[in-house]
Amino acid sequence: MGIMDLQSGISFITLAMAMFAIPETLYLVLDPNRSKVSNNKSEIKNLRISKDEFKQITPVVSRQSIQGFLIGVMPGAGATIASFLGYAVERNIANNEDKKLFGKVSVKGLAAPESANNAACTGSFVPLLTLGIPGSGTTAILLGALIALNVSPGPRLMEYNPEIF
C-alpha cells in the first residue's frame, strides 16, 4: 500500500494490544449512551482504611499472598483461580458472624481475592523465567516480546542473558 511502516509487517505487541482495543472501540461506537457521564451526585468521602480494618485484613493479606504466589507458580493456574480460592478459603475459615458479612460489607472478603490475585501475577513469572512456560496471559505476551528480542526464557536464561534475569 506504499506505507513504509508496514514493510516489515505488523508486530506481535501491536496485534495483541489491538485485540483488546478493537472490541471496546466497537462497543463505544455502537452504544453511545455508555460514554455519557452520569449526573449522579453521590460522592465518596473517605478512602482510607481505619486501624480496626487494618488489623482485620493483615492476617488475611499475609495468608492470601502466600497462597496466591504458590498458585501463580503453577503453570496455567492463573490469577483468577487464585482469587476464587482466596475468597473461598477466607470465607471458610471465618467465624459465623464474619461469614454473614461476606459478599456484603466484609473487608476480609475484599482483601482476600485482591491479595491472592496480585501475588499470583507475580508468581506467574517463575515458570516463565525458569521453564519458558507462560503462567498467565500477561506472561504469554511477555514471552512473545522476549522471543521477538531474540531472548529465549528457560533454564539457560541466566547463563546466556543474565542481564535480563
84-139 pLDDT, tens digit each: 999 999 989 988 888 888 878 788 888 999 999 999 988 988 888 888 888 778 88
pLDDT for position 163: 83
Written as nine digits, the cell of 82 is: 487464585
Identify which of 56, 71, 58 has the alpha carbon closest to the alpha carbon of residue 119.
71
Mean pLDDT of 56-73: 93
pLDDT for position 37: 55
Handedness of CA 80, 81, 84, 90 (dihedral sign): negative
SS3 31: coil
40 vs 162, which has greater pLDDT? 162
Confidence of residue 155 (pLDDT cuts 50, 70, 90): confident
Q: Are 154 and 130 in contact (CB under 8 A)?
A: yes
Confidence of residue 39 (pLDDT cuts 50, 70, 90): low
Written as nine digits, the cell of 34 is: 455508555
The whole-angstrom separation of Cα 121 and Cα 137 is 10
pLDDT for position 53: 87
DSSP string, 94-144: S-HHHHHHTTTT-HHHHHHHHHHHHHHHHHTHHHHHHHS---SHHHHHHHH
The 10 Å Cβ neighbour count of residue 107 is 17
pLDDT beyond 70 at 34: no
For residue 33, the one-letter residue type is N
Q: Are 148 and 8 in contact (CB under 8 A)?
A: no
Q: For a pLDDT cut of 90, what percent of the chain falls above it?
A: 21
